[in-house]
Amino acid sequence: MDNVVILGAGFGGLTLASELNDLAKAGKADVTLVDQNTHFSMGFSMQWVLAGRREAGEGQRPYTALSADHVKFVRDEIITIDTKNSTVQTKKHRILYDYLVIALGAELAPELLPGLAEAGLNLCDMQHVLKLKGAVGSIKSGTIAIIISSTPFKCPPMPYEYAFLIDDILRKRGVRENVRIVLTTPEPQPMPVAGKAVGDALKTMLAEKGIEYLPQHKPKAIDAQDHKVTYENGFELSFDILGAVPPHRAPKVVREAGLADASGFVPVDLYTLKTSVENVYALGDVAALKLPNGNSHPKAGVLAEAQASALARSMIAAIEGGKAIAYDGTGVCYIDAGNEEAAPVEVDLLAPEGPKITLSPPSKEGLETKRRFERERLDRWFGTY
């Protein structure tokens, strides 16, 4: 019987495990899912904590409650991937595979930007977001800087959402006019993959809220003493609070396995998610996908999910017989716009004429749909609570 081993139980790994469960149930494959964590929670949960919509522990699900009850879950840290011997070594287990799927997400590396770890709050880390919430909740005047350290990073609208949510909190507190919010990015525009029209719409949203926006600003170093960001173009930005999207790269175990390229991520075929090593696949944030136009494919949970779904159907076809399914690059996400509203974004990355991204105006209904998006996935992966 084929042995399918899935590394990482995030958006991608959970989708794949759920969709392969019937295969495991029918005794047609052994499926193992490995993750170091005890619980799953969605990235945007951090933003909901900042916005005061939930507490830090809410929205989590324990891996012991996985709906994929014929998938073996191993809770352990993966320390070696040995593709020559088709083996994965965790701290306590040696796991052999016939098919390996790497869905280990991105490693956050604040240390790659000098001074960041000392002076900045990591916008992708719940403990840091709790500190940010405290700081935004008490600032009376000054500057809040939201910086994007480098590209690529997960969830292209995420830093913009943080800026909108912080704006909202400051308005409710009645201190907005005394606090500057400045968002800087190395990108030429917001969400470049989405094209000029969507970028312009986001710039308008930022301007309407008085959020200063500085594209093409790549930070070089942070001075933790003087509370100042220095950029490669020579610009300097003083701050009172610094929220940062840190540099991203593939996790150490993946880099040490020699699977990452110069981009820092694992190159895969856009349609099949195959790596250069036979029977080894990578998907989601850990993978470096290139769009047909040569641009980088964005990283997002909903796209990791779509990749995993396509791979699941192809694996089922390979094992049971049938036609493989190509990844189609479609999905929907919801930009949290503050004021308890979200703007739906429909994504069709592989449209024949090039990536087609449609942004709808923010609405209360949009945020309600985002709530439903989370509920549906948690129910699918963990059963109803």
Ligand X SMILES: Cc1cc2nc3c(=O)[nH]c(=O)nc-3n(C[C@H](O)[C@H](O)[C@H](O)COP(=O)(O)OP(=O)(O)OC[C@H]3O[C@@H](n4cnc5c(N)ncnc54)[C@H](O)[C@@H]3O)c2cc1C
Q: Which residues lie across from 75 on neighbouring strands?
A: 35
CB of 288 to ligand X, least distance (A): 12
CB of 24 to ligand X, least distance (A): 19
Closer residue to ligand X (CB): 231 or 250: 250
Closer residue to ligand X (CB): 180 or 370: 370
Which secondary-structure segment (H or E) carries 94? Answer: strand 94-96
Which amino acid is located at 41 in the chain? S
Q: How far apart are the first and last CA of the chain?
A: 34
Q: Coil, helix or strand for 297?
A: coil
Please state, in angstroms and rounded to a whole number, the distance separating the CA atoms of residues 171 and 176.
Answer: 5
**Token pair of 50 as six digits:** 């900042």
Crossing angle between the packed helical segments 11-25 and 301-320, to the nearest 10 degrees: 20
Closer residue to ligand X (CB): 135 or 224: 135
Residue nearest ligand X by beta-carbon distance: 10
Q: What does the longest C-alpha to C-alpha distance in the chain come to? A: 65
Residues 6+ apart with CB under 8 A from 48: 54, 59
Please state, in angstroms and rounded to a whole number, the distance separating the CA atoms of residues 154 and 174.
Answer: 32
Q: How many residues make up the chain in this entry?
A: 385
CB of 177 to ligand X, least distance (A): 27
Q: Coil, helix or strand for 355?
A: coil
CB of 300 to ligand X, least distance (A): 4
Closer residue to ligand X (CB): 158 or 182: 158
CB of 106 to ligand X, least distance (A): 7
Closer residue to ligand X (CB): 190 or 251: 251
Q: Evaluate whether 74 touches 33 at the Cβ level (below 8 Å).
A: yes
Q: What radius of gyration, in Å, describes the C-alpha atoms of the chain? A: 21
Question: Which residues are at the interface with ligand X (CB under 6 A)?
Answer: 8-13, 34-37, 43-44, 46-47, 77-78, 103-105, 124, 154-155, 158, 251, 253, 284-286, 299-302, 304, 333
CB of 155 to ligand X, least distance (A): 3
CB of 136 to ligand X, least distance (A): 15
Q: How far is CA 210 from CA 147, 166, 176, 185, 258, in A?
A: 16, 12, 9, 17, 45
